[in-house]
Structure 1
């Protein structure tokens, strides 16, 4: 891809992400993205082949955002457990910053949209390799760091997913957690820490 074409593609994807964040999934149409990019619908079709191709490209872009966040974390310190907890907290922040983006990555907010399997494998592999590497540093010798990373991620995903769901609905006075960011973060920390402890993750 030539630099000019890459720049144009990035402009459309920036516009698509902006539409997703501002208008949600219902606004994520070829026309909506074209308008946000200041272009014609024909130009969007020419580059992405239609809404499915545009969604695939946007799906890839959302995972790129998560990968860039993980790559931008501070270098590994002697306290690998603290590093891993920091990663988990940044993951929560990423999800909370844009629940719609997060839903596109891990849920099915767009009816009938099933990302290309090869694309899914590629983005998951490149993104979660960084996460697995952090888990590997604190895994017991001869343990399966990949399995431990999956179990830890499901705990992180479940905790933040429940938080996002509850925050999008009417507050319940008798829910497990007070409806504050501080209370939710404290519960998330405890849950993640408990899973790390249960998996035997510790500094060597």
Structure 2
């Protein structure tokens, strides 16, 4: 008969399993990882992980949700700082970059690997919505104060796409020096802001 574990023991095992899974999925890809391999790395029987998760997809959903929550918390903390909306928006961008470069495995897991259907995993769906909400929040404030015009959610996705593209190229070693990355990103974001601002000006002049 399996040993009855305390809540603390259950949480400790889940944490260790998710830590191992994050490294494995990021380094080997989703298809390259099996539950048996995860169990071997944890030094437990092949069936032990099934006491906590139904299958590999549920493990992948859980570890992705956990990474998204860490990411969202970092951005929320940055947006909560004192300052103008532009300063707070810049703080969110810096928090995004800091998280990506300090946690490349988690970043790859969140945004570069295939995921199971989000709607099948409520916690993953919640975490994904939380991440999109904080990435949209600066755009909502900029639109509200008239600095930009447009759908805040669309603007958030545009900025996210731009930053993600630059980060992915840098993580892949395609942009070379950090100075090159900074120049590419700053100019790309400047062009986007200029376009959104000119849209605002032309809209007001009509």
- TM-score bracket, shorter-length normalisation: 0.7 to 0.9
Paired with 1:46 and 1:144, the residues of 2 have a C-alpha distance of: 50
Residue number among 139, 145, 153 corresponding to 2:143 in the alignment:
139
* CA contact 2:79–2:91 (8 Å) conserved in 1: no
Aligned partners of 1:73 and 1:87 also within 8 Å: yes
Aligned to 2:176: 179
Distance 2:108 2:137 in 1: 25
* Mapped pair 1:62 → 2:64: no
Larger Rg, first or second structure (1 or 2): 2
Closer, same or farther in 2 for the Cα pair 1:162/1:186, shift >3 Å? closer
CA contact (8 A) 1:95 1:160 kept: no
Consecutive unaligned residues of structure 1, counting only runs of 5 or more, are 172-177
Query: In the alignment, which residue of structure 2 is the partner of 1:123?
Result: 127
**What is the deviation of 1:149?**
4.1
**Aligned length in residues:** 191
Match of 1:194 in 2: 191
**How has the CA–CA distance of structure 1 residues 143 and 87 changed in structure 2, closer, same or farther, with 3 Å as cutoff?**
closer
Provide the rounded CA distance (Å) in 2 between the counterparts of 1:69 and 1:148.
21
Q: Which structure is richer in relative contact order (CA contacts within 8 A, separation 6 or more)? A: 1
Q: What is the TM-score of this pair, normalised by structure 1? A: 0.73
C-alpha deviation, 1:44, in angstroms: 0.9
Q: Are residues 105 and 150 of structure 1, via their aligned partners in 2, closer, same or farther at CA, if it must alter by over 3 Å? A: farther
Are 1:78 and 2:75 matched, yes or no? no
Shift of 1:19: 2.7
Alpha-carbon offset, residue 98 of structure 1: 4.6
Give ranges in structure 2 of 5+ residues lacking alignment.
Answer: 1-5, 198-206
The two structures have a TM-score, normalised by structure 2, of: 0.72
RMSD: 3.4
